[in-house]
Chains A and B, each alone.
Chain A
Amino acid sequence: MSRGSQDGEGLAESVKRQSSGGPNRQCDESTSGRSRALHAAGLDGVADRVGLAIETFGLRKEFDGDVAVDSVSLSVPEGSIFGLMGPNGAGKSTLIGMLLGMLQPTAGSGAILGRSITDPSGAVRAQVGYVTDAQHLYPYYRIAQVLELCSRVYPHWDAKRCAALMKAFGLPQQKWVWSLSKGMRTQLALVIALSVKPRVLILDEPTSGLDPVMKQAFKQLILEEAATGDTTVFFSTHHLHDLERMADHVAVMMEGRVLFSKGLDEVKENARKIQAVFPDGLPEEIRTMREVLKVEGQGRVYAITVSDHFHEVFARVKAMQPIYIESVDLGLEELFIHTVGKEGYSLELFAESVSAQ
């Protein structure tokens, strides 16, 4: 199959046709994740009862006394698509490293599918697929040898699925790993991650090295995997647009801490913007509200960004008798920027520090 002749959805379709790997069903992005599928079926709340795929309690990691991850407690429901966002150096990759047993926690604990992440046997990772943007595979192996190794190591290896994915991506088996581009290495990593019959897929900024077509195909494959209901997807990304379209749970990390972790619907319900006009300017009380992330004024119109308890805040603002008040949807990107901005990570501060130098 020629690599350039197919678009992303075509590739995903091709994999589906060729693979006999279980009850995959058509999945479009508007019904991403198991929770949304359950929602569509009128089974809200089921995801919350089916257990947790990933759990961490006070997970902490220090490198030479520098805290990279600080007391992170997360709960990732089984079957969900959990998006982790945060600026560079927030500790996302370190957290993922600990989940996968690459790094040992300085303190705290965690479990994947009920098994401790520090379990020395490594059995916890038998059905965990992992893809990262900087995928370092054995450069002196041929692709076929890498796959052979994985088929021997992973107990649930799905050779048919692997063959279908390899064909769909057009990766030549006899090619040396060192000769692959960054994008091709990511594709190979995805082939491996999906062929282990994953119950948990951990993706660390996986699409950053992919071209737009492959990026689309990648997302499609991930969504299809999640739509089976058997796979939990935990991914970190800077692409908040992807996160908004794919995830049903989100968490924001900053300086090693989790600022919040919620269901996307809850975020959208509770994090919104209020636009209001007051007869005598903005009441000072609004700025001091805990839930208010940011207040911007343009003329007499004030835009109040609310991170939580929107309805409560809206009622309180309305009680201050504004001349005009309305609520506006808040994009995830805007929420992210304002959330991390409140923690001192903002474009304004960056510009100030550059100009000061």
Chain B
Amino acid sequence: MNSLQNLFPLNRALLWKEWMPFRGWYVAAFVLWSLSVILYPLGLSIYHLFIWWGDRSIVYYWSQDLAQMMEHNEGSSVVLVGMLLTVVLGVLPLASERSPNTMPFLTAMPVSRREVLAAKYLVNAAFLVGSMTVMFLMMVAYLLVFPDVQYQAWKILPFFVLTTSVFLLMYTITFFLATVAGNLLSAILLAVTALYAPWVWFYNSGMSHDIFNGWWTDYAVQAVILPCYNGFGCESYTAVHAPYLSSLGLLAVTIALYVWSVRLFEQNQMEHNGRLLMFTSLTRWLLRFAPVLIGLAAGVGIAGDSHSFLLGVLSFVGIMVGVYAGIGGLQRFLRRAGIRVKS
């Protein structure tokens, strides 16, 4: 209990700060997010009940959509909006302090850095979990109210447990990246790259068919590409066959990343505000790492293995890291040359 309090020290004033001024925004986000589960089925049902003199056949259509959502995540606001929302929720709490430079005001208050970070993290995590819980309960309630719904009761819980765990981890990854990013733009760039670039690269480009020639590599890659857990154009083996175990694994990574975020934030929360990365030592590390990766990718390419999995991974990571390192290095160079870089 003590270690939990140590990890998530609750400061009511800070929780209020993170929630109250934005409560309208949260309500709007929830309405948009739950469109497929709440507004769409209820709206259609009410419309048909009153306008079409009690026609209940519409239940078949929207409950089919919900069944599809749980099977393949097709056309559902829960997954589509959720995937974008995790980025917004993860980035804004910290970046919205750094970009208008309000962090000094906050840190001059009699609060600990851990309390600051915990409040930011917990409010949005609670919103994520709370919203998913409400949607879960609504789907259970439909089963009781409408006897002819087209989805099976036993599929609801694993879907919501797994999807919530995936969103929580995506949110935590974004939150972690916002901890190391110096401003709003770099936080968004880092988050989108980390969450979606591997997915775009391996699945949308069709490369997965060319480069994955073994079932184990396919499984391994899909296990680390989070959109695959949502069945977003790809399917994670573990998510399909062991949803609860997968959720536990995702939750463990979530907690580990949160702990790391706290440590980093306690070390440096505003000293390099405005830069691409808060931690200049990270920029130095990237500057060294990027040429090595790009060189390796070039080596593999020159060796003629142009469609290898190794080439794909190396060139992708190398180029992304190289871009960040380049921007970070340029900022350092400009500062050293006495040219002020706008925060």
Judged by a CB distance under 8 angstroms, whether B111 is at the interface is yes
Contact A122 to B20, CB < 8 A, known contacts A135-B105, A138-B102:
no
User: With the chains together, A135 CA to B114 CA distance in Å?
Assistant: 23
Comparing A101-109, A309-317, A338-346, the segment that makes contact with chain B is: A101-109
Q: Which residues of B contact A152 (CB under 8 A)?
A: 12-13, 16-17
The tally of residues in A whose CB lies under 8 Å from a CB in B reads: 34
Q: Contact between A149 and B13 (Cβ–Cβ < 8 Å)?
A: yes
Comparing B136-144, B167-175, B262-270, B315-323, the segment that makes contact with chain A is: B262-270
- A302 to B: closest C-beta gap in Å: 39
Q: Which residues of B contact A63 (CB under 8 A)?
A: 271-272
Judged by a CB distance under 8 angstroms, whether B104 is at the interface is yes
- Closest-by-CB residue of B relative to A136 is B101
Q: Contact between A155 and B100 (Cβ–Cβ < 8 Å)?
A: no
Q: Contact between A102 and B108 (Cβ–Cβ < 8 Å)?
A: yes
Q: Which residues of A contact B102 (CB under 8 A)?
A: 136-139
Q: Which residues of A contact B111 (CB under 8 A)?
A: 122, 153
Judged by a CB distance under 8 angstroms, whether A145 is at the interface is yes
User: With the chains together, A137 CA to B17 CA distance in Å?
Assistant: 13
- Closest-by-CB residue of B relative to A64 is B280
Comparing A124-132, A323-331, A349-357, the segment that makes contact with chain B is: A124-132
User: With the chains together, A154 CA to B105 CA distance in Å?
Assistant: 13
Judged by a CB distance under 8 angstroms, whether B153 is at the interface is no
Judged by a CB distance under 8 angstroms, whether B107 is at the interface is yes
Chain B's interface size range is: 20 to 34
Q: Which residues of A contact B13 (CB under 8 A)?
A: 149, 152-153
Q: Contact between B115 and A122 (Cβ–Cβ < 8 Å)?
A: yes
Q: Contact between A136 and B104 (Cβ–Cβ < 8 Å)?
A: yes
- A4 to B: closest C-beta gap in Å: 28
User: With the chains together, A213 CA to B101 CA distance in Å?
Assistant: 28
Question: Of A64, A102, A154, which is within 8 A of B104 by CB?
Answer: A102
Judged by a CB distance under 8 angstroms, whether B109 is at the interface is yes
Interface flags for A146-184 (1: CB within 8 Å of B; 0: not) read 001110111100000000000000000000000000000
Judged by a CB distance under 8 angstroms, whether B48 is at the interface is no
Q: Contact between A149 and B104 (Cβ–Cβ < 8 Å)?
A: no
- A140 to B: closest C-beta gap in Å: 7
Contact A64 to B332, CB < 8 A, known contacts A149-B17, A152-B12:
yes
User: With the chains together, A14 CA to B103 CA distance in Å?
Assistant: 33
Judged by a CB distance under 8 angstroms, whether B14 is at the interface is yes
- Closest-by-CB residue of A relative to B96 is A140
Judged by a CB distance under 8 angstroms, whether A46 is at the interface is no
Q: Which residues of A contact B335 (CB under 8 A)?
A: 64
Judged by a CB distance under 8 angstroms, whether A100 is at the interface is yes
